[in-house]
Structures are given as C-alpha cells and as structure tokens.
Structure 1
C-alpha cells in the first residue's frame, strides 16, 4: 500500500479546480468520490482517503492510500 498526503489547496491546483468547489462537500462528492468509483470500476487499482483536520473541523489535508483492486 502506498500513501501520499496533499493539502486541499495543493490537490485542487493539481486537478485544475482551484477556483471551483469552495464547499468541501461539493469537492468530495463531485471529484473525490466520483474518481474513487471510476478508478475502481475501470482499472486494477483503487484508493481510499482520509480527511485530516489539524486545528479545526475544516478539512485541511487529504491522505490517499493506493491499493490493488481485487475482485470481491
């Protein structure tokens, strides 16, 4: 299992959506969860993610874990 952590802003910049999805819930539903579903459906890998809040309830970082996609 491989892990990588990104700040929320850094991840939005990498994905080219830094000016979109000001509400985290929209970003999570339209980007993270959709990508998670698509990757698992169409490839041999999948990912899980952990939301990290350091000094508040606001999500500041996201830690991704990459796993092999094994049939269930």
Structure 2
C-alpha cells in the first residue's frame, strides 16, 4: 500500500464518518461539498472533514482508494 493510501486508510479507520471535500465545512469550495456538509449537518451526523485542496497527494489518492475517478 502506498504512503498516501496508508494515510487515507488511517483517517478512515480513525473516524466513523469522513468527508473528503473541497474546502472546509464552514467554507465549502464546491456545490457537492456544500450539499454533503448540509446533509450531514441536517441529519446531526458528526464527521471529520479533509480538505483535498490542501494536499494534492490526498486529492489524487482518494480517487484510487475509493475507486471514484471524479
């Protein structure tokens, strides 16, 4: 497993719900991130967020880790 995959796995393992997003929950940087935060907040779900714009390795690595090419 690559270093970035290990980092992502550690984040996912350490938290019940993780949102890998563009921006932060207080300042989302795209519509999808904004909607995801709004839904989780509305449902009262506690979640950890990771701003993929702050780490290009995570931004690319999460696509491979999750098999989600977007």
Give me the TM-score of the superposition, normalised by structure 1: 0.32
Give me the TM-score of the superposition, normalised by structure 2: 0.33
Larger Rg: 1
> Which structure carries more helix by proportion?
2
